[in-house]
Amino acid sequence: MGYQPSLDGVRAISVIAVILYHAGFEWMHGGFFGVEVFFVVSGFLITALLLDERERSGRVSLRSFWLRRARRLLPALVLVLVAVGVYASLAGSDLLRSDVRRDLPWALGYAANWGQIVGGAQYFGNLSPLRHLWSLAVEEQWYVVWPLVFVVAARLTKRARLRAALFALVAVGLMVLTWWMAREPQLAGDRVNLLYLSTFTRASGLLLGAAAAFVWRPWRSLRAGESRAGRLLDASGVVAVVVLGWSFAEAALTDRSVYRWHLALVTVASLVLVLVVVHPASAIVRRAFAWGPFVEIGKRSYGLYLWSWPVSVVIEAYTGSWSRFVVAMIVTVVVSEVSYRFVETPIRTGALGRWFARERSRDGHWYVGTTAGAITTISIVAPLLLFFGRVEHVDPAAGGDRVSFVMPATTAAAPTTPSAASAAVPAPAEVSPSTPSSTAGSAAGSTVGSVDASVAGPSVEPTIDPPLTTIAAPPSTPPVLPRRLVVVGDSMAHSLAINLPDGIESTFAIADGSIDGCGVQDDGEVSSSRRGFSRSFADCADWAQRWVREAVDSQAQLALVVIGAWDVFDVEVDGALVAFGTPAGDERFVTGLTEGVDALSAAGVHVALLEIACMRPQDVKGAGVPALPERGDDVRVARLNDLMREVAAERPDAVTFVEGPDAWCADEAISTDLGYRWDGVHVYRPGANLIYTTIAPSLLQIPL
């Protein structure tokens, strides 16, 4: 086959797409498909080289093959791992060190994909500097297994077409397997992780490329201009490029369509493009991808891929910021070029072997240089291994000053509320979607009524004129302590469940049933156009059942529902926009919340809906999600609280709406203090303590 510069051009567009995806640009949120293009190129190229070797020498030297792969891949990888380890140990945050500690052993064993699968570290939203090594792990596993399969298959059958058909059949089978695993209406996060990262579900591109290499060898009999099929080839190549470009721009990692048909489409389009660019009859596409700058980028694609993501993590160039992206790319290009010129290329071309042979010929003192190199390596690697061996796991949601939970005196012994059969309280009035009926985080026991529509803004005091309704009276006897409480909901629930103040265990036994990134929906995609951010709910499948499972496992008496972070947005569902505050938006939220309430109630658990707090989102390092302005909109927050009050009023025996701290809205010194909420949304220990001390009386007065 010889050197095919156009294949380097294909690598170039692949790595560019991945880098732009990692940068967080909204218009390239499908750039992760660039990895699939890499897989197809690798499958085709490696198999073509194995075929050439077998035809040339009558055999395949597995030792030589694996040695070439090691020379090509290991030096740059080791350099990146050492650089990341040194940076994390000297200047990294506790979270960064924890991520490196978790991922480093898997990366060293070229098993990073399985490390993320079995370790539960979701690929999406993961800011580990080593998260991108999953794709290298898939390729390395391919390089280990495929030559063995190739040697056996080459002996079993004589006809290349039969071998190609066999491997193509396996590839199609893997596509069908991926589709079958994704056929359910809902995909949980762990399932998405498995589909995207596993060797089996991602081997189809490698196998299709390998199958094509058995039958597509046009350089053996054709020269440029000799085939009448040139125009057809170029047309096919253009279509493939269009399909890939559209996929890079439109797909989202957690969309169900990715695993049902889009990944297969990208695989086929990638294969078509590869077949075109290696065919001498292609006059346009082949020449375009052999363009000099593309070729040079393609030659360095491995190093660019390795370095770009760790550098982006350090510089925080993953939020769609052009200024940060440019800085990150300058650093990446410089570092990867140094690696390419002075580490990768010399070792790949045998510089170490030549040096070793030269030293051995010099009076037998070769061991001096070898020993010096070994000592240098050990002096760098050993301290890193010792350091990270002592690093503990860090949950980014946990932190803040230690505080003690103090039970309010009026409820420490027994409830002091009236013991009458029922108590009259105002019920929430219907509210216009555009105007809040209350400020979120209102004082406990406050009521909400109609609002003068001529005055907008969350700071307006509402005019209260509600009807009366009845709720069940609190128990007249002290509750048995501790009450078993499961906290369910989104990431705000998680931070509340793990940042427990000292001493609360005597009052509440708290379990964490949260699902990060998931409110009460499992379809659609939220977006914040002002921050260029979007997120799909595709990985939130079975959220209500997962709430119930945790409640049952923890034998909870109460389920505290903590949501809101993902419920304040407009949502796009099947191409249609469901705007927040519209009847359709309200119905969507109420339907989802009712589903969760009904599921918990059916399990015998009383549901407490915690008032959504006024959020004051801020951009902080390591957050992963920018400060989204919709979260800071008190009008939206108040609307959700009104809807939750309505849901609670319809089920007074099974559901209670619990007022949160007034300070989240009323006291700016607290609401904007990152010691209470580390990003203005998720609580640390002081913020959790503020909530628990406020709601404890209400939770203890619920009759069970």
Tens-place pLDDT, residues 61-102: 999 999 899 989 999 999 999 999 999 988 888 888 888 888
For residue 309, the one-letter residue type is W
d(CA 258, CA 175): 12
Decide if 95 is inside a domain. yes
- CA distances from residue 182 to 86, 189, 255 in whole angstroms, order as listed: 40, 12, 10
Contact 527, 252 (CB under 8 A): no
The last residue of one of the domains, among 324, 349, 374, is 349
Per-residue pLDDT tens digits for 331-355 = 999 999 999 999 888 888 877 667 6
The last residue of one of the domains, among 349, 366, 397, is 349
Contact 498, 395 (CB under 8 A): yes
Decide if 354 is inside a domain. no
Contact 444, 417 (CB under 8 A): no
Decide if 262 is inside a domain. yes
User: Burial, 357: exposed, middle or buried (Cβ in 10 Å; 0-12, 13-18, 19+)?
Assistant: exposed
Decide if 252 is inside a domain. yes
Decide if 315 is inside a domain. yes
What percentage of the chain carries pLDDT values higher than 70? 80
Indicate the number of domains in the chain. Answer: 2
Per-residue pLDDT tens digits for 353-395 = 676 666 666 655 556 666 666 676 676 777 777 777 777 777 7
Judge whether residue 431 has pLDDT over 50: no
Decide if 463 is inside a domain. no
Decide if 88 is inside a domain. yes
- Fill in the DSSP letter of residue 540: B
For residue 328, the one-letter residue type is A
Range of the domain at 682: 475-700
CA dihedral sign of residues 553, 556, 560, 561: positive
pLDDT of residue 108: 87
d(CA 433, CA 518): 23
Residue 569 sits in a domain of what CATH number?
A: 3.40.50.1110
- 62 and 210 belong to one structural domain: yes
The last residue of one of the domains, among 308, 330, 349, is 349
pLDDT of residue 454: 31
Contact 668, 654 (CB under 8 A): no
pLDDT of residue 218: 87
pLDDT of residue 173: 74
- 148 and 296 belong to one structural domain: yes
Most confidently predicted of 102-116, 163-177, 224-238: 102-116
Decide if 449 is inside a domain. no
Judge whether residue 423 has pLDDT over 90: no
pLDDT category of residue 417 using cuts at 50, 70 and 90: very low
- What is the pLDDT of the chain when averaged over all its residues? 83
Task: Point out the least confidently predicted range of 67-76, 405-414, 452-461.
Answer: 452-461
Mean pLDDT of 589-608: 96
